[in-house]
Structure 1
């Protein structure tokens, strides 16, 4: 009988802890934090990349690393295939600061494209944002599902993140290209018959759960999380890139902004697939489950941030009858 007060106190303490997490996750706006002066690495051996090197008027603008401990860690988190590379490209081009990567290995393909921040420890404060696909393992295809691991993962970034959300009907098709090896490289586009098999159907069912969990975890466990909706970003990329940098208190050089505006089309062509499917390889089972997960994710987003997922921009969400000719559907 004497143990009841102890257990009552323990339950109250746990409830207070959970309420604290929820309260700190309510707002999608960043808290005002005092940032040290942004000092770039200098010296003859400094790391630089020139995003506008083919433009004589803009070729001297470079992207560089900051000195260590200049910025706190902050994730750029998304499900694979959601446009993370494109967003990073524009952030680096406008800010002049490299983004990083949360892995212990160097992805040579991205390094060769100029993402030199990937070689740095993502916690050393030298990069503006750090790419992550949340609990995805180093081999790209296995996931850690333990909730305590996922909670700790969010707090590796001290709860700070920018959550990039894309229509899963598109994102899952895009990332499934990674499952189709072509001479060891990531293909730009896979023909439709590559998707019409049991392997893709199984992969899609697993992937929609992972898409949802990323959103749920970061909005439940994060403390300073902003959201970028890919479908809005791609319609006005310069506006949303500038908007994000303003939230991060990163100064913007107006001449550099003009250079990005002038070279924007070229950067989009380089990092955004030009060829897209107009049909989807999803079954009735996929469509029903995807819609359920999207609706639940939208509720979480609205509850935590007051914003709405732009469902009117999600192809196949409202009507898939004309978009899924490979499987009979009356949904």
Structure 2
């Protein structure tokens, strides 16, 4: 008796827009540099539906960013903001009162690595790398000092002030165990996911929006003791407001350098 092995064609799976008059809007909230674009690509594969954004983004790959998210064509919506309500540059004026996040997926990433990624974006673009000299400049030190305070306020909003249903997606755990984490996200979204979809997700090309890191582009080299003290202080402030036995508390403490 022969056994047939199923061949999965991942390229045949198409991503589409919704056609819904009142979809359940879900924030995909993250501090800049925390892997939102990569996560969006995974969620599009997971759900089969394009994700949206409160920004136009200007990326050809992210078709949903060029849509008003209030037109019922998307339901997962990227945001770096701290608010329940949202709009989009392409939305009509009569839409402004309709955007309201009923749920949120909050991406938490090591703030050291998020700051590096965000600084790179400011200085060199989405997928290229700023020079080592730029990271040695005063600009870098000023950037870290100011942005880490915004990181603290952003995290505290989404984990303490957002009171609707929320899923905390820890970036490092997503990298290490993509299948398990996305299965948990699907359950949160009440989305059914087939084994073939999970298999395709495991095979997804993840390099398009990732930088190739030179040997010097690591947090241990870019943050001296002065900057580490500043970042660690803000991490500890956030952790002090979290239950000590929670996985979030443990993740935050694991970020200390």
Q: Is the 8 A contact 1:151 1:221 kept in 2?
A: no
Q: Is the 8 A contact 2:19 2:73 kept in 1?
A: yes
Q: Aligned pair in 2 of structure 1 residues 307, 186: CA closer, same or farther (>3 Å)?
A: closer
Question: Do residues 297 (structure 1) and 247 (structure 2) align?
Answer: no
In structure 1, which of residues 207, 216, 220 is the aligned counterpart of residue 160 of structure 2?
Answer: 220
Counterpart of 1:128 in structure 2 is 75
Question: Do residues 82 (structure 1) and 34 (structure 2) align?
Answer: yes
Q: Aligned pair in 2 of structure 1 residues 231, 258: CA closer, same or farther (>3 Å)?
A: closer
Question: Do residues 272 (structure 1) and 238 (structure 2) align?
Answer: no
Q: Is the 8 A contact 1:64 1:96 kept in 2?
A: yes
Equivalent-residue separation in structure 2 for 1:151 and 1:283 (angstroms): 37
- Structure 2, unaligned stretches of length 5 or more? 1-6, 87-97
Counterpart of 1:119 in structure 2 is 66
Q: Give the secondary-structure state (helix, strand or coil) at the position aligned to 1:200.
A: helix
Equivalent-residue separation in structure 2 for 1:162 and 1:190 (angstroms): 30
Measured after TM superposition, the shift of residue 56 of structure 1 is 8.3
Q: Give the secondary-structure state (helix, strand or coil) at the position aligned to 1:64.
A: coil
Aligned length: 237
Q: Give the secondary-structure state (helix, strand or coil) at the position aligned to 1:270.
A: coil
Q: Aligned pair in 2 of structure 1 residues 91, 205: CA closer, same or farther (>3 Å)?
A: same
Q: Give the secondary-structure state (helix, strand or coil) at the position aligned to 1:269.
A: coil
Q: How does 1:240-259 map to 2 (within 5 A)?
A: 240-259=181-200
Pair member with larger Rg: 1
In structure 2, which of residues 16, 22, 45 is the aligned counterpart of residue 93 of structure 1?
Answer: 45
Equivalent-residue separation in structure 2 for 1:159 and 1:70 (angstroms): 12
Q: Is the 8 A contact 1:192 1:281 kept in 2?
A: no
Q: Which TM-score applies when normalising by structure 1? A: 0.64
Q: Is the 8 A contact 1:151 1:217 kept in 2?
A: no
Equivalent-residue separation in structure 1 for 2:8 and 2:187 (angstroms): 28
User: Which string of whole-angstrom CA distances, capped at 9 and with x for unpartnered residues, describes residues 13-33 of structure 1?
Assistant: xxxxxxxxxxxxxxxxxxxxx
- Structure 1, unaligned stretches of length 5 or more? 1-54, 136-149, 319-331
